[in-house]
Structure 1
Amino acid sequence: MSQPVEGAGTFPDPEDVARNKRQFAWTFVGLMLAMLLAALDQTIVATALPTIVGDLHGLEHLSWVVTAYLLASTIGLPIYGKIGDLFGRKPIFLFAIAVFLVGSALSGAAHNMGELIAFRGLQGIGGGGLMIGAQAIVGDIIPPRQRGKYAGLMGSVFGLASIAGPLLGGYLTDSVGWRWVFYINLPLGIAAFATVLVTLHLHKPTGQRPRLDYAGTTLLALFSSAAVLLTSWAGNTYAWGSPQILGLAVVIVVTAVVFVQVEKRAEHPVIPLSLFRERNFVFPAAAGVTIGISMFAVVAYLPTYLQMVQRVSATASGLMMIPMVLGMLTSSILTGHAITRTGKYRVYPVAGAAVAGGGLLLLGQIGVATPYWELALAMVILGLGVGGAMQNLTLIVQNSVPHGVLGAATSAQNYFRQIGASLGIAVFGSIFVNRLTTQLASGPLAGHPVGGGGVSSLTPEVLGTLPAQVQQAIADAFGTALPPIYLYAVPVVLLGAVLGLFIEARQLSDTAPAAAMREERVESAV
């Protein structure tokens, strides 16, 4: 009698998957809505923060509104992936949506900053499961050969959310109040929950209940917490060489070493170490980190250039970022369809990273007098590169790992990308702030309070209250200090292209994992 395959219960029989095209379409819409919620909530709060902290009287805790969500969602990424493999993805996915909705409702009703930070953490616990659950379910129900075009659509959600989030957050704050930045999630989330509940049919795992990897999960949570706090605080709240940052670095190293030893002995490790013996996991995951660093560096700091140098509003700066989104949408969809048509994928991460490097190189040339069309061209090129590479890396990983660890592999790839991107933002941000401080202290504002160390208080609103000559000097300082960080990112993203060369080209199956697993069970029974 054959032994059950780990994770086999997460794959539905063909008859249960998308009984007709309409059912499948609604299932995919539900997954897209869930992905949009998770991606949107990472950016929608940014433009509402000044109003929120003013209303709740908590300026000193401002950064924690963002950090709490990021920390909780990062910790949850690999945990959701593994639990989905063991216990079935549909109930875990619905649980994540429900937690996210409860966190959203409570965040909107928060009476003080302590409550808001706690409820944002609850939102993040759900948000991590939304992203991984949707990607893993796509891996379950769509054949690898057909998955490219759907993966492209899902990847484009992140680009859309990066621009739509700040715009929507600003509009809601100005029109109906900041609480609707959180309440807007409720109708979208309920629609996603209901759609997935009704249309998605996945078999529940059978057999003996597996033992969870509690020790590995705890160590991973400690590692993730230290990593996110280090990347959030280093160079901003604390200096890179401060005891706090060095202490966090020690925690990162110690927990990483102990985690590896624990996972070697775990029956069901939260991140299977066998993944690191699979080249089509290691190289796509590493390439994803380098490309993610580049994308998030642009999203994080280019609006600052637009607002402080070109003197546009927050809303206008969001609209001016649209060329990058259009580039991402175009390349994500086109490369996905090309992979479905040809079955070949290896070229896209390499070419995408190289094109992204060209976009970063152009961004490194911008200055105070750069016309917008040049900036838009650079953003389009960067978007084309990122869109052509990022989402296809997930497809490569899912096509190369055993079915029983598909969720764990998908979540681990996203996890490392998020940790790496957070570190990149912290490093590039520290470089930018140091360069800006130097520019202000050595330029015409050397004797001015701003040039004497008031960099942290500079906002577009503050800039508008200063004399014209001072405004111009500050714009010149920003225009000089910021562009080099994009040049520093060029070798990082080109490293991603080099890593992509080591990805092995393998045939994409025309059979959904569900059908493949069923055939295996039939053959073993015979």
Structure 2
Amino acid sequence: MASEEARRSVDSHHPTLSTPQSQDPEKSSENDAKVEKVEEETYPSGLKLLIIMAALLSAVFLVSLDRMIIATAIPKITDDFHSADDIGWYSTAFQLTACSFQLLYGKLYTTMNVKGVFLTSLAIFEIGSAICGAAPNSIAFIIGRAIAGTGTGGLVSGSMSLIVYTVPLHKRPMYQGFFGAISGVASAAGPLFGGIFTSKATWRWCFYINLPLGALVGMGVMFFLQVPKAPEMSLRDKLAQLDFYGTGLILPGVVCLVLGLEWGGTTYAWNNGRIIALFVISPLLLIAFGLVQGIKHDGVQSEANNEFLVFYIPVWLQAIRGLSAVQSGIQTLPMLLPMFGASLVGGILIRRIGYYTPFSILGDAVASVGAGFIYTLTADSSKSQYLGYQSIYGIGLGLSFMAPNIAAQTVLPKRDVPIGIGLIFFSQLIAPSILVPVAQTVLNTQLQKQLSGLPGLDKFSLADGGVTSIVDLSPSVRPQVIRGYAKALQHVFMVGLIVTCISIFGSLALEWKNTREQLNEKKKLADSNAPNEEVEAKLSISGGQEKH
């Protein structure tokens, strides 16, 4: 009703932009073109747009590269630090801080100057990378990873938030397809770069490389991106808007959960008092976090993270096929390159069609089929099987990659977009933080079960030593170990299959909204000379009426 009144008001002031019902198709197309032309005049173009997009894409590239490059460097890092027991924390420390600060960054981007918040998070990421590169021991390295993860939280959501001020809504799907594509390229290049740096120079360059690239990102954003001023409010009011309580609850809650999953059944028995205490404290903190978020009325629907299998396919390739870290990185290209292409094509199609929900549903369905095929992999699977299954899975991931972000930018008022994007990336980052320790526990437990009957084999040291220890086994026992490892990994792939299937429900919950129609509605309401608050309110109401 509100949206209809707004249309009448607009039509009375701007007859040339009347509703489609009162126009023939030719005039409607002309007006659509006029709307797009007027809107584009308020955004950067030409060389300025190119530099800004290059900076934002480079930020996404840095984060994606940093997440994947460490995989091939870990063996050498543990050799230098004599810290095999800390391997899990090299990834977990990064993921935990990255997801725990997402919601806080979402608030920061709505209350503070968005450019300043982005540059601050970039500086934090750079400091963390420098500490990792110069770390004298494992503890310092873990601290560096945690600091880098804290900065990552602002870079990921910040890049998606700043695009709101860079390109108009109807073009964002295509540009966000570029984000998905560059993330795929970085994920593919990460293991290769890590192997090259580790073997040809030093693993420390896996982190030093972030410093010059980050400096270029900072200069591009600082000198070329123009953003509106921060909301006029006192510092006290701004601090009151920030989600300190939520961050203070989610971080220790997830840490307790991860510690319980990592220690349970390995360092301590499952019925040990420490493990029981961790599993009691963790849900209490997470429930409190949920209550705090419910009271604050912050929320946007988001699908679950379904990139879980990306972490364990290289493990399968190294353990079962006997590939090196660099070779396994090359063998994952059939997954990452289709993900790159599907993300790019999906972004272009969403821009042309306007609807993003079908691509999210289709992508999750295809990824689920691929995950199901991956679950069937055994020690006897052929090369065409494990490469082909990865391709199906990668296509699905690419198609659904950007839909939640486009949804947030379409259904939310511009001022709330950073919060919505922050919540989306929170859900996408917290999943690996929890699921990777779960998978590692499943893998270790199944290894002990599968290899228990083999004489002269220390199954506990094999689980702790990882996949590289298989090549050191005697030829008489190695084939049985490989088969046992393959069966254990099938249980891990089952976890990934379940998570990927669950993500379909998140896609089904997305609103069926058209980005092009939303653009026209926003322009009409703005032309009615209504205050910004009224425009945003009417858009929100009309958005709710279009939900299916």
The TM-score normalised by the length of structure 2 is: 0.82
What is the aligned partner in structure 2 of residue 252 from structure 1? Answer: 282
Report the CA distance shift for 1:501/1:72 in structure 2 as closer, same or farther (over 3 A). closer
Offset at residue 404 of structure 1 (A): 1.9
What is the aligned partner in structure 2 of residue 223 from structure 1? Answer: 250
> Structure 2: how far apart are the matches of 1:341 and 1:181?
39
Q: 1:223, 1:251 within 8 Å by CA — same for their partners in 2?
A: no
- The one-letter code matched in structure 2 to 1:432 is L
> Structure 2: how far apart are the matches of 1:238 and 1:332?
43
Q: 1:226, 1:249 within 8 Å by CA — same for their partners in 2?
A: no
- What are the equivalent positions in structure 2 for 1:160-179 lying under 5 Å apart? 160-179=185-204
- Report the 3-state secondary structure (helix = DSSP H, G, I; strand = E; otherwise coil) of the residue aligned with 1:468: coil
Identity %: 26
> Structure 2: how far apart are the matches of 1:517 and 1:73?
39
- What are the equivalent positions in structure 2 for 1:131-150 lying under 5 Å apart? 131-150=156-175
Q: 1:17, 1:202 within 8 Å by CA — same for their partners in 2?
A: no
Q: 1:104, 1:123 within 8 Å by CA — same for their partners in 2?
A: yes
What is the aligned partner in structure 2 of residue 303 from structure 1? Answer: 314
- Corresponding position: 1:273 with 2:297: yes
> Structure 2: how far apart are the matches of 1:519 and 1:472?
69
Q: Render the CA deviation track for 1:348-387: whole Å, top value 9, x for unaligned.
A: 1111111111111111221112111111110000011111
- The one-letter code matched in structure 2 to 1:318 is G
Question: Considering only CA atoms, is the larger Rg found in Structure 1 or Structure 2?
Answer: 2
Offset at residue 215 of structure 1 (A): 8.2
- The one-letter code matched in structure 1 to 2:444 is V
- Report the 3-state secondary structure (helix = DSSP H, G, I; strand = E; otherwise coil) of the residue aligned with 2:515: coil
Q: 1:75, 1:225 within 8 Å by CA — same for their partners in 2?
A: no
What is the aligned partner in structure 2 of residue 68 from structure 1? Answer: 93
What is the aligned partner in structure 2 of residue 3 from structure 1? Answer: none
- Report the 3-state secondary structure (helix = DSSP H, G, I; strand = E; otherwise coil) of the residue aligned with 2:322: coil
Corresponding residue to 1:384 among 395, 414, 437: 395
What is the aligned partner in structure 1 of residue 22 from structure 2? Answer: none
Q: 2:257, 2:282 within 8 Å by CA — same for their partners in 1?
A: no
Q: 2:357, 2:403 within 8 Å by CA — same for their partners in 1?
A: no
- The one-letter code matched in structure 2 to 1:295 is E
> Structure 2: how far apart are the matches of 1:264 and 1:463?
49
Q: 1:17, 1:201 within 8 Å by CA — same for their partners in 2?
A: no
Q: 1:144, 1:510 within 8 Å by CA — same for their partners in 2?
A: no
Offset at residue 242 of structure 1 (A): 4.3
- Report the 3-state secondary structure (helix = DSSP H, G, I; strand = E; otherwise coil) of the residue aligned with 1:124: helix
Report the CA distance shift for 1:101/1:17 in structure 2 as closer, same or farther (over 3 A). farther
Offset at residue 493 of structure 1 (A): 2.3
Corresponding residue to 1:506 among 513, 523, 527: 513
- Corresponding position: 1:41 with 2:66: yes
- Corresponding position: 1:327 with 2:338: yes
- Report the 3-state secondary structure (helix = DSSP H, G, I; strand = E; otherwise coil) of the residue aligned with 1:370: coil
Q: Render the CA deviation track for 1:39-63: whole Å, top value 9, x for unaligned.
A: 2212212222222233234444343
Q: 1:155, 1:390 within 8 Å by CA — same for their partners in 2?
A: yes
- The one-letter code matched in structure 2 to 1:224 is L
What is the aligned partner in structure 2 of residue 191 from structure 1? Answer: 216
- Corresponding position: 1:155 with 2:180: yes
Report the CA distance shift for 1:478/1:57 in structure 2 as closer, same or farther (over 3 A). closer
> Structure 2: how far apart are the matches of 1:378 and 1:222?
39
What is the aligned partner in structure 2 of residue 424 from structure 1? Answer: 435
> Structure 2: how far apart are the matches of 1:175 and 1:77?
36
Offset at residue 225 of structure 1 (A): 3.2
> Structure 2: how far apart are the matches of 1:179 and 1:165?
14
Offset at residue 72 of structure 1 (A): 1.9
Report the CA distance shift for 1:373/1:521 in structure 2 as closer, same or farther (over 3 A). same
Q: 2:354, 2:514 within 8 Å by CA — same for their partners in 1?
A: yes
Gaps of 5+ in 1: 1-12, 266-271, 276-280
Offset at residue 463 of structure 1 (A): 2.1
Offset at residue 485 of structure 1 (A): 3.3
Q: Render the CA deviation track for 1:98-122: whole Å, top value 9, x for unaligned.
A: 1211222232122222322222222
- Report the 3-state secondary structure (helix = DSSP H, G, I; strand = E; otherwise coil) of the residue aligned with 2:477: helix
* Larger deviation, residues 411-420 vs 421-430: 421-430
- The one-letter code matched in structure 2 to 1:450 is D
- What are the equivalent positions in structure 2 for 1:354-433 lying under 5 Å apart? 354-433=365-444
- The one-letter code matched in structure 1 to 2:440 is G
Offset at residue 427 of structure 1 (A): 2.8
* Larger deviation, residues 216-225 vs 24-33: 216-225
The size of the alignment, in residue pairs, is 490
Report the CA distance shift for 1:489/1:183 in structure 2 as closer, same or farther (over 3 A). closer
Corresponding residue to 2:462 among 438, 455, 467: 455
> Structure 2: how far apart are the matches of 1:333 and 1:137?
19
Q: 1:146, 1:510 within 8 Å by CA — same for their partners in 2?
A: no
- Report the 3-state secondary structure (helix = DSSP H, G, I; strand = E; otherwise coil) of the residue aligned with 1:482: helix
Gaps of 5+ in 2: 1-37, 535-548
